[in-house]
Structure 1
Amino acid sequence: MKYLLSPILSFYFFSSGYGQPEIPRYFTQKKNFNEALHKIVHEVGLDSTWNAGEDGMETISFAVIDLNSKHPVLGCVNCGNFIYPASVYKMYVAMEILRQVSNGDFSLSRQYIVKSPNDVDRSKEISYDPRPLLRAGDTVTINYLLDLMITRSDNAAANCLIDVATRDSINRTIHEMGWYGSEVTRKFLSRKLEDPGYDTIKSTETCALHAADFMYKVYKNELINPWVSRQMKALLGRQLDTTKLSLGLPHNTMYYHKTGWWSIYTNDVGIVEDGNIKYIIALFTPVTEEKVSLQMKELSDRVYNFISLLHH
């Protein structure tokens, strides 16, 4: 099945759980680029297969887009593998909220009253962030919820914004982008507290290819429109979690990203900009943060050095 996104973009051939998503035609692929990424993944020990419990045997999902050439070069290691993204999928929620704001459906300053059971957090995802946990009855703005959801990865804020945007609208936009298989199916709460119809639905999944394409659209100001793209980039640039791929980047590098971690899953997706060095990196792992932290740091460092050598 083909999906036409716009007159200036090529056809997509994405499917929803029916097979591997195909790569958009605006990306170039090079054999030596892919081989180099496979070598990096092997040398840092992330080319294994892990037991993901109910999810079966699982591998990483990894993609890098080199933005320093005339045409973006995409490198993949299992980048079409759908995997649990944890909080990374909050960026899809933010996209839809910003799309609706851009359309004039409501403003960023619109007030919202938090209701149970959305107020699930009992501790802060980022312990040093001074903002209090959301509680039922709190009145906050959409803008405040967006910032909490992306920069602190606040689950209560995400639940509220999923209600505001609605899953139907979020997924309709995801489909318009061609990201079939990356639908937002769940809130960040237990199934027994889910809305009727969502208590038995499959968990949300995404893949490195879709996540990297999301960041590419942000980079190109093509995520819905330039306003949405720039608002999204501003949020991603204020990310408070610097414990994953950030660790392998030089100190003054600007990294616009969204992280996610839950149970055995540890993930990070973003845009790296350091002078003339520009690339997108998306890594999803079925490994606990404690076990994969050093590997993520080393992989990030090696990818940065590899991209740097390509253009010096």
Structure 2
Amino acid sequence: MSFSVEQLACHPELVPCLRFLAGALRDRYDSGPRIARLLASHQRWLLTQTAYALHLEYDAAVAGSGLTVVRLRDVITQYRVASRNTVLSYIEELLTYRFLVPAAGIVRRPRRYEPTEVSQTAMFSWYLANLAALDLLDNGDRAAMLAAHPVLIDLAQPRMARRCLETSAWREPPERVGLFLWTEAGGLVMDHLVARLDLSTEVDGRVNLGRIDTRAIAAQFMMSRTHLQRLLRKAADGGGLGWYDEPKKTRLWMSRDFLDEYCRWQAVKLAAVDEAFTWAQSAAACAVSA
């Protein structure tokens, strides 16, 4: 039985769950910054998850199936996630950094592409981290099950990705969350802040995030300090973040209502991850017994 969005959104352990997930994703960034940045903004997250789903849905008997520029462009533009030119630039970038390669065999049009081993490993680790986070909520064994049966991701990921793409509550984050997620490296900054959360420090609707070194954060995430400071200032203007020590701006807090918005948004994705994995297990069991 998988969690619903509502069950996740009101779960008393959701914040620790998201803090664990943010830390896991931060560790992944430290071990492979360039590929981790493919999921660092919401637009890139949607592009990457959809592209991987199209690859896994390839059927040799269906002409034009799999990951092609045309198919990715058609799906992405249908939901107004990105322009045609953005999709083309995205594919070219993946090819340049060898995260994607042309599929082997006879060259047909449109050209089909496949993720390289490093991309497959990164996607597997992302799904595994999300399952491990869900396990914290009910002492489950999802992560162990995926580790024991890696092929389950081939069934679960496309279902999860399409559900997220088709769900406006995930596709279109709340405005204050989107302030971070729609910007380059903004997702990394958000993960950094969430990883610092300690609800025991909450006073008057403000959770203490401790001392923030914008210079160090900007350098770590390969972004300009000016961009980071502008991002934090806009978040402060919206009431989501604030400084205990104006005008020094070294000790940061996050408002509880902003955290609740973020938690509910993440609950939509976690529910999709959970439902898809539960379905994948059932589908695999049925295939074995057939």
TM-score (norm 1): 0.27
TM-score (norm 2): 0.29
* Higher helix proportion: 2
* Higher strand proportion: 1
